[in-house]
Amino acid sequence: MKERSKLLGFRKDIKVVDATLRDGGLVNDFYFTDEFVNDLYITNIKAGVDYMEFGYRGDKSMFDVNKFGKWKFCNDEDIRAIVGDNNTDLKIAIMADVGRCDYKNDIHDRSESPVDLIRVATYLHQLPTAIDIIEDSYKKGYETTCNIMALSNAQEGDLQVALDELGKSPVNTIYIVDSFGSLYPEQVARMADTFMEFAEKYDKKIGIHAHNNQQLAFANTIEAVGDGVDWLDGTYAEMGRGAGNCAMELLLGFLKNPKYNIYPAIEFVEKHMRKLKEDGIVWGYDLQYLMTGLLNQHPRTAIDFTKNKRTDYAEFYKEVVIHD
């Protein structure tokens, strides 16, 4: 049992990261209105959120700019149009996806950019490239995180090698990413222990990015808080790929640091997130995501099930069990 004091105190090192545009963009191909993005920026400032992730810096030679909204690419000038000089306490993040980002050319010096933080998303086997992006971004003046995806499928031995390599790199924060929404809180606790060991050795911070396949995204996030994890990802109305993420409004309600406010989050959800759902954008917990989470599978089959408006859950269960 954790210490009683933890539920009434707070750690100043906690950082809340809004990933709505980035993970939510995977649901609507990044077609957010400028009003949405403007209001989200203002909401994050009012709510005390620490970082706002605007999207991916996708490689335009790989992705057709006519098939995605602008936050798939996050041009510096598009961010600047929202944040100006960003004279606020809210820092700006973008994601560089290993193998899908021309980082050498598309990430410019921080002095020329409104961006503060480059979040490097990688699978374990892509680690050398991830570290190259981290070093490149560090030299250009950015803070960096490394988000190791699909951890529920990683071998513990491989993970330890990766954490050692990342420890020696200039990365600031290393993320536990439960891409498949398959981890239970006890497994998060065990994983956090492994990560914290390297964090303490190399003076790094640890973060968590959860998915809600088993209605555990918030529970796993606050479990991680109790285990010493400081960087917490949330999205408004849990908007994110498939079953979505840890709801920002749950997280802001939980955190005790007086700098965080839930009220602006409620206003934002009322104004914008309900509308997205009414417009037919679909995300969030449902049985098909429970199944892929339970089976520790990538949610792509469940996303297809959702897109095809299927409701034959039992048939889908047989499909995913057969292809397990």
- Which residues in this chain contact a second copy in the complex, by CB under 8 A? 1-2, 4, 6-7, 184-187, 189-190, 193, 212, 214-219, 222-223, 226, 247, 249-250, 253-254, 262-263, 266-267, 269-270, 274, 287, 290-291, 294, 311-314, 317
Indicate the residue among 118 and 290 with the shorter CB distance to a second copy. Answer: 290
Indicate the residue among 45 and 219 with the shorter CB distance to a second copy. Answer: 219
Q: How far is the CB of 247 from a second copy (least distance, A)?
A: 7
> At which residue do the structure tokens 């954008």 appear?
281
Residue 29 and residue 223: Cα distance in Å, rounded? 31
Indicate the residue among 18 and 249 with the shorter CB distance to a second copy. Answer: 249
Indicate the residue among 1 and 77 with the shorter CB distance to a second copy. Answer: 1
Q: Which token pair is 261? A: 């406010």
Residue 224 and residue 47: Cα distance in Å, rounded? 21
**Beta strand spans in 10-141 (E):** 15-18, 51-56, 91-97, 117-122
Q: How far is the CB of 264 from a second copy (least distance, A)?
A: 9
Q: How far is the CB of 230 from a second copy (least distance, A)?
A: 17
Q: How far is the CB of 251 from a second copy (least distance, A)?
A: 10
Indicate the residue among 147 and 221 with the shorter CB distance to a second copy. Answer: 221
Total Cβ atoms within 10 A of residue 236: 27
Q: How far is the CB of 218 from a second copy (least distance, A)?
A: 5
DSSP annotation string for 262-274:
SHHHHHHIIIIIH
Residue 208 and residue 304: Cα distance in Å, rounded? 26
Going by C-alpha positions, the residue among 305, 280, 279, 290 that lies closest to residue 244 is 290
Total Cβ atoms within 10 A of residue 31: 14
